[in-house]
Amino acid sequence: MLKKILSYVGEYKKTAILCPLSILGEVVMEVLIPYVMASIINNGIRKDNVGHVAIMGIIMVVMALVSLAFGALAGRFGAVASVGFAKNLRKALFEKVQAFSFSNVDKFSSASLTTRLTTDVNNVQMAFMMFIRTAVRAPMMLIFALFMAITTNAKLSLVFVVAIPVLAAIIFMIMSKAHPRFKAMLTLYDNMNGRVQENLIGIRTVKAFVREDYEKKRFVESTEAVRAAQVNAEKLVILTMPFMQLCMYASIISILFFGGHIIVDGDMLTGDLTQFITYVTQILMSLMMLSFMLMMFVISRASLQRIYEVLTEEVDIVSPENAITEVKNGSVSFKNVSFSYFKDMNNLALEKINLNIESGETIGVIGGTGSSKTTLVQLIPRLYDATEGQVLVGGRDVREYDIEALRGNVAMVLQKNVLFTGTIKENLKWGNADATDEEIIEACKQACAHDFITSFPNGYNQNLGQGGVNVSGGQKQRLCIARALLKKPKILILDDSTSAVDTATDASIRKAFRENLGDVTTFIIAQRISSVQEADRIIVMDDGKISDIGTHKELLETSEIYREVYDSQQKGGDADAS
């Protein structure tokens, strides 16, 4: 997993390697500097040799400058590499998601995909920066400082034999105990935020039922739970610092004690003692740093995992090689098609569908919720692949077409439709980037959108805001229809696309279609009988099967379901007519 994700460092590989290399330089300097310091004290000050102090002082200044240069370079390299890595990762994820099929998107849900592209990438970036900056620094510092300590005085270095394992063991114990507690806390934290989110979305429901106090009570419960869990987890983590201090102080005291003896015995010089103390700090600090790095890695592991899942997700719908790029006509046929969202033949959404539709026909689709109307039409532009059987468009299996060519000719207006930030015109141009103003106006007239668009102060250049918040539901649906019409498709599918449009407008849209789109095969999924009753044929869906097919008149006689639906919408009308 790590290897795959790290491959996205890409062109920043060189920088990513230069960063630890510069740090190596910095570390060497940092370890040598105390050595020079000791020399200043031992050979300079102690021996009243001002010349030596000056020379060593200048050497130290030079070393500090070199170390500074290395440090600054490492900082720069680290920033460039980690931010660049995040950029590549984000780009790869975004492009991967763009390649996703509907079933891939269903599997992840858009909220979770968004988190993966934002928060998770950010976590990985931070962890990576931390990694390239400390992965070398900490162990190198540990080794160099230890080496210098041993060369200074091997006997005194025995202190580290005790101090390092003790501190490492303590840190390890704390971390391994704290980790599950942190996880528990995060779950509670997510629950709490979920509660807030629900209240934001459902604020009207909360207020309508006067449940403010009830919600407050529940929220207080969850914040209290978060607080308790936080205390539970953090009370362990805050132990690391005091233990680290204890270890450090204990080491310093023992070094001073034993060092004092050694010096008095004449085996060591006073300057070495301060040098040693610097090494203690460096060694134990790098141990702390290592443990932090470990923690960072553990925290980011979940993010890595989630990113990895997206990157390795198999896109199940791609254009075949030698794909057909031209759709001959708008005929559609289903040959023995069964479909399951879970690729499970025991859990079918569509069962053995056989259907032949000629180019230019208008087909109504009607049926209760959950009868798989949407599922049926989604197979035509190959948004999903049939689990069994064949779907043909223009006489060829949809799997033989270039996807872009197929979807360019099969325009679908989705039930859950979306407009994007930008002007009306920009949104409409999704259908055809090269559309002229005349073509746009023409399409909008057919979708009965032209009138309300021109009533906006900025007309076609009116800004829609995110998700098209500045237009009503019915207006949004009509814009979505116009957007699809701009594709000039051979097949047009309207999936309950006029549910928020009033009946009169709905009727005139259909009238415009009939007059202008005579040769376009049109599928109209609707709840209202009125929306489909003038179609050439009407398909009645029931529980994933085609229950009946026929014209309005025929179905009224043959289909019980159709008649029931008709009656449920008709009652008053009949009474009125009589």
* Min dist. Cβ of residue 361 to another protein (A): 17
User: What is the footprint of another protein within residues 110-129 (CB under 8 A)?
Assistant: 110, 113-114, 117-118, 129
Handedness of CA 561, 562, 563, 565 (dihedral sign): positive
285 to 314, contacts with another protein by CB under 8 A? none
Query: How far apart (Å, rounded) are the C-alpha atoms in residues 26 and 32?
Result: 10
Calpha distance 200→183 (Å, rounded) = 26
CB 31 within 8 A of CB 66: no
Reduced to 3 states, what is the DSSP secondary structure of residue 336? Answer: strand
Cβ proximity to another protein: between 113 and 348 the closer is 113
168 or 285: CB nearest another protein: 285
* CA atoms lying within 13 Å on the CB side of residue 528: 14
Nearer to another protein, 275 or 340 (CB): 275
Q: How many CB atoms within 10 Å of residue 241?
A: 10
Is residue 33 close enough to count as binding another protein by CB under 8 A?
A: yes
Q: Which is nearer to another protein, 221 or 519 (CB)?
A: 221
Element (H, E) at 356: strand 350-357
Residue with smaller CB distance to another protein, 25 or 389: 25
**Residues in 500-539 at the binding interface with another protein, rule: CB under 8 A:** 500-507, 510-511, 527-528, 530, 533-534
Task: Among 162, 180, 224, 305, indicate the residue that binds another protein (CB under 8 A).
Answer: 224
Question: Which C-beta is closer to another protein: that of 137 or that of 142?
Answer: 137
Kindly tell me which residue out of 483, 520, 522, 555 binds another protein, with binding defined by CB under 8 A. 483
Stretch that binds another protein, among 167-175, 195-203, 320-328, 332-340 (CB under 8 A): 195-203
Spatial neighbors of 1 by CB under 8 A, at least 6 apart, are 304, 305, 308
Instruction: Using the rule CB under 8 A, give the single segment among 159-167, 287-295, 301-309, 497-505 that binds another protein.
Output: 497-505
Please give the sequence-ordered ranges of beta strands (E in DSSP) within 81-204, or none if there are none. Answer: none
Q: Which is nearer to another protein, 352 or 462 (CB)?
A: 462
Q: How far is the CB of 336 from another protein (least distance, A)?
A: 26
Smallest gap from residue 509 Cβ to another protein (A) = 11
Cβ closest to another protein, residue 519 vs residue 560:
560
Restricted to residues 458-477, the positions that interact with another protein (CB under 8 A) are 465-467, 472-475
Which residue, 368 or 389, is less far from another protein as judged by CB?
368
Question: How are beta strands 350-357 and 410-413 bridged, if at all?
Answer: unpaired
Torsion of Cα atoms, 552 then 554 then 559 then 562, to 10°: 10
Determine if 433 is a binding residue for another protein (CB under 8 A): yes
Based on the shown chain and the rule CB under 8 A, indicate whether residue 315 belongs to the binding site for another protein. no
When the beta carbons of 298 and 414 are compared against another protein, the nearer one is: 414
CB of 390 to another protein, least distance (A): 21
Tell me the closest approach of the beta carbon of residue 291 to another protein, in angstroms: 17
Is the torsion defined by CA of 449, 455, 460, 464 positive or negative? negative
Buried b or exposed e, range 196-221, using 16+ CB within 10 angstroms: eeebeeeeeebeeeeeeeebeeeeee
Half-sphere exposure of 18 (CA within 13 A, CB side): 17
Site for another protein in 41-100 (CB under 8 A): 41, 44-46, 48-50, 53-54, 56-58, 60-61, 63-65, 67-68, 70-72, 74-76, 78-80, 82-84, 86-87, 90-91, 94-95, 97-100
Q: Which positions from 135 through 194 interact with another protein, judged by CB under 8 A?
A: 192-194
25 binds another protein (CB under 8 A): no
DSSP per-residue codes, 489-556: -SEEEEESTTTTS-HHHHHHHHHHHHHH-TTSEEEEE-SSHHHHTTSSEEEEEETTEEEEEE-HHHHH
DSSP string, 169-222: HHHHHHHHHHHHHHHHHHHHHHHHHHHHHHHHHTHHHHHHTT-HHHHHHHHHHH
Task: Tell me how far, at minimum, the Cβ of 186 lies from another protein, in Å.
Answer: 12
For another protein, which is the closer residue by CB, 359 or 499? 499
Only one residue has tokens 């109209």, namely: 524
At 192, list the tokens. Answer: 């709490």
Look-up of token digits 């990694």: 131
Stretch in the footprint of another protein (CB under 8 A) among 169-177, 252-260, 288-296, 333-341: 252-260
**Which of 274, 338, 462, 558 contacts another protein by CB under 8 A?**
274
Residues 339-378 that bind another protein (CB under 8 A): 367-370
Shortest CB 278 distance to another protein, Å: 8
Name residue 494's beta-bridge partners: 413, 524
- The letter for the amino acid at 388 is E
CB contact at 8 A, 123 and 297:
no
Please select the residue that binds another protein; options are 215, 286, 331, 377, rule is CB under 8 A.
215
Tokens of 9: 């460092």
Comparing CB distances to another protein, the nearer of 335 and 512 is 512
Which has the closest alpha carbon to 461: 501, 426, 434? 426
Checking DSSP bridges between strand 537-542 and strand 410-413, what pairing results, if any?
unpaired
Per-residue binding string, another protein, 230-249, x by CB under 8 A, is xx--xx--xx-xx--xx--x
Count of residues near another protein by CB under 8 A = 171
Q: Which of residues 93-112 bind another protein (CB under 8 A)?
A: 94-95, 97-102, 105, 110
With binding defined as CB under 8 A, does residue 253 bind another protein?
yes
Selected binder of another protein within 11, 198, 267, 326 (CB under 8 A): 198
